[in-house]
Amino acid sequence: MRDETTAGHAMPPAAMPPPATRTSQDPTTNTPGPQLRTWRFYAILTSLGVAGLASAIEGTIITSALPTISSALQAGDVYVWVPNAYLLASVAVLPLYGQASNIFGRRFLLLASVALFTLGSAVCGAATSIGMLIAARAVQGLGGGGINLLIETVVTDIVPLRERGKYMAIVMLGSVVGASVGPLLGGVITSRTTWRWCFYLNVPVGGAAFITLFAFLRVNHHRDQSWKARLARVDFSGNAIFIGAIVAVLIALTWGGTTYSWTTVHVLLPLILGFFGLFLFTAFEWTPRLCPEPSIPRKLVSNRQSAAALALTFIHAIVTFWTYYFLPLFFQAVQTRTPEASGIATLPIFGGSLLFSILGGVLLSKTGKYKPIHLAGFAILVIAFGLFSLFNHTTSTAAWVCFELLWAAGDGVLIAILLPAMQAPLDESLVATATGLWSFVRYFGCIWGVTIPSAIFNNECRRLARSMGDARIAGYLTGGRAYEFATKAFVDGIADAEVRRGVVGVFQGALRTVWLVGVGFAGLGFLVTFLEKDVLLREQVNSEFGMQEVKKTDELVVVAGEGGIPLASLSAATALTERGKSTSQMNIS
């Protein structure tokens, strides 16, 4: 705040504004968007993007390198826990991170998350056994989950609701780039050097993220409680129930259709227990007598708009990973391309999503309307999935590139605007817990986005393989193992040309069913959009966790943010004293 003077005199005490306090209920703390666009604002966004890049690369680079890693460490059938340990740890801690960031502040937890992620990456690269690697992947996941959640939380803290889609898309550039180049990078690394660099690569990237965040991420939070008092506020009981439930569900999804049949007790029991645990967690959280400060407050889903936006987030995550995991199968199993060539062929998906995510954010910022964009996005996805069902071994490059770009348009415009739509009717004090719930729903959707089409693909392969003349080859496509053999190496290894064409036909037919069911899920998203309500998007920031501001006047230096404690230069105090004015009249905010 400028030191206002009249005729050379300081503002009289009666006219002085009260000291700045940041509460979500105080309208005087609203900070219009344009005032935030300082170099430090963009430095924070850049550092968040670097952190997101590291996490996103690790989420996809393992897909290409996993066979090599499993062979090197003699993983056997526990190889599935190399990716799943990371995913499990990431998802399980989301509500805890959301609540803890309100209690301990965003800066501390984000720096700790980056440090955990970097440490886990280093240990993964140095792993000498599969057990050591899985444990290190869990440490990575604890950091990665915090990174992904807190990146989004910090953006919502410093950007007005109406502009969040635009700036969320900019920050997510790193994540999208990392996710898109991850599979290709993993293939290149494992073929040209040691698989350990799939993990060591994140050490310098994570280190750079930590340094930039430490230097630039200066945001407010209250420090008016002791550490003991803050720890007492954490919902440990509720999070213990939640983590147990998530572990049970993920065990069931990991074993289902691969290690055990979906109808066996080994799968059904943990699945039932997991969903019962989620129900128990919800009941515990929404009982004030049991949980006075819940990780997931009931008010987050007690309004139609937030509930509809969460449903759309879940469906969007499903259809996104549906394509991420099964489009490469078309190129490898039907068009018989190498993994590297398949990675290149899917670049229109990732590159297009990147560009259209920015477009979606800009449209939201310009119009303030999210519902029309949601309708358009899911409508395009319905069409794109329908076009994917036409894919065969003779599909031209021009056709699949255009179809991929169409899908990317529908998926991309939704990426950055689902979170603002969920937050629209909520108070700013719920930003962190709302983001935690939204992130969990998105991750949970990602899990089902792999599980559902995998079950469809394996079942269709088993059904179609019955008509094949070669029982030995047909055996590879049954028992839930079809996804494992949907590769160029397997197809090219079949000596008989007629049998080889039959196998390609099985893969092509199974994928056609996968895409047609995808039409149904995208169509469900289109219908759910009609349940949304148009809510006016705020154009001002009103958060107690906003950026700390450093402002200067001629001789008066004001530092706002750290608990509202002001500092003034001695020369300013001396000058005012010489004018015969009491230092109590200094206008410091």
Residue 540 has a pLDDT of 56
Q: Does 119 lie in the same domain as 53? A: yes
The dihedrals phi and psi of 65, each to the nearest 5 degrees, come to -90, -10
Give me the pLDDT at residue 52, please: 83
Candidate from 91-105, 123-137, 368-382 with smallest mean pLDDT: 91-105
How many domains does the chain contain in total?
A: 4
Please tell me whether residues 355 and 494 are part of one structural domain: yes
457 and 314 together in one domain: yes
**DSSP 3-state of 540:** strand
Most confident range (mean pLDDT) of 120-134, 141-155, 179-193, 531-545 is 120-134
Q: DSSP 3-state assignment of 224?
A: coil
Task: Indicate whether 394 and 459 sit together in one domain.
Answer: yes
Nearest to 417 by CA among 155, 60, 96, 144: 155
Q: Within a 10 A sphere around the Cβ of 556, how many other Cβ atoms? A: 21
Instruction: For residue 340, name the pLDDT band (cuts at 50, 70, 90).
Output: confident
Bridge partners of 5? 10
3-state secondary structure (DSSP) of residue 201: coil
Q: How confident is the model at residue 548 (pLDDT cuts 50, 70, 90)?
A: low
The mean pLDDT of 308-320, rounded to a whole number, is 94
Q: 433: closest CA among 538, 233, 297, 290?
A: 297
Residue 537 and residue 554 share a domain: no
* pLDDT 10s digits, 21-32: 333 333 333 444
Taking Cα atoms as reference points, which of 497, 457, 500, 504 lies closest to residue 480? 457
In a domain, 247, yes or no: yes
pLDDT at 122 over 60: yes
Q: How far apart are CA 506 and CA 371, in angstroms?
A: 40
Give 430's DSSP letter.
Answer: G
Judge whether 121 lies within some domain: yes
Q: Are 234 and 103 in contact (CB under 8 A)?
A: yes
Non-local (6+) Cβ contacts of 484 within 8 A are none
Domain identity same for 412 and 538 = yes
3-state secondary structure of 8: coil
Residue 12, by phi and psi: left (phi above 0), alpha (psi -120 to 50) or beta? Answer: beta
What SS3 string covers 86-155? Answer: HHHHHHHCHHHHHHHHHHHCHHHHHHHHHHHHHHHHHHHHCCCCHHHHHHHHHHHHHHHHHHHHHHHHHH
Separation of alpha carbons 583 and 241, rounded Å: 55
- 1, part of any domain: no
Angle at the Cα of 156 (from 180 to 177), degrees rounded to 5? 10
Are residue 366 and residue 498 in the same domain, yes or no? yes
Pair 477, 395 in one domain: yes
- Judge whether residue 141 has pLDDT over 50: yes
Does position 549 have pLDDT exceeding 90, yes or no? no
- Whether residue 318 contacts residue 449, with contact meaning beta carbons closer than 8 Å, is answered with yes
| Residue 578 placed within a domain | yes
Highest mean pLDDT among 78-82, 441-445, 456-460, 515-519: 515-519
Cα 501 vs. chain centroid, distance in angstroms?
40
Shared domain for 365 and 407, answered yes or no, is: yes
CA pseudo-torsion sign 564, 565, 571, 576: positive
135 shares a domain with 119: yes
Please check whether residues 528 and 586 belong to one and the same domain.
no
Burial 174-202 (b: 16+ CB within 10 A, else e): bbbbbbbbbbbbbbbbbeeeebbbbbbbb
Q: Which of 109-113, 157-161, 411-415 has the lowest mean pLDDT?
A: 157-161
CATH number reported for the structural domain that contains residue 429 in this entry: 1.20.1250.20
Q: Among 191, 223, 255, where does a domain finish?
A: 223
* Domain end (from 525, 544, 563): 544
Q: Which two tokens stand for residue 361?
A: 């954010």
Model confidence pLDDT, tens digit, residues 346-397: 888 877 888 898 888 888 888 888 999 999 999 999 999 999 999 998 899 9
Say if residue 155 is in the same domain as residue 267.
no
Does residue 441 form part of some domain? yes
In order of 359, 403, 534, the CA distances from 409 in angstroms are: 9, 10, 23
* 10 lies in some domain: no
3-state secondary structure 551-589: EECCCCEEEECCCCCCCCCHHHHHHHHHCCCCHHHCCCC
- Domain assignment present for residue 194? The answer is yes
**Bigger pLDDT: 299 vs 541:** 299
Please give the full DSSP string across 59-92, using - where no structure is assigned.
HHHHHHHHHHHHHHTT-GGGGGHHHHHHHHHHHH
Q: In the chain, what is the straight-line distance between the N-terminal and C-terminal CA atoms, in Å?
A: 6
- Domain boundaries, position 260: 236-292
- Considering only the C-alpha atoms of the chain, give the largest distance between any 2 of them, rounded to a whole number of Å: 103
Q: 262-266, 337-341, 398-402: lowest mean pLDDT where? A: 337-341
**Is residue 315 over pLDDT 60?**
yes
Q: How many Cβ atoms sit within 10 Å of the Cβ of residue 222?
A: 16
Q: Greater confidence, 51 or 315?
A: 315
- Distance of alpha carbon 412 from its chain centroid, rounded? 14
Of 166, 194, 223, which closes a domain? 223
| pTM of the complete model beyond 0.85 | no
Domain-embedded: residue 229: no
Ramachandran region, residue 8 (left: φ > 0; alpha: ψ -120 to 50; beta: rest):
left
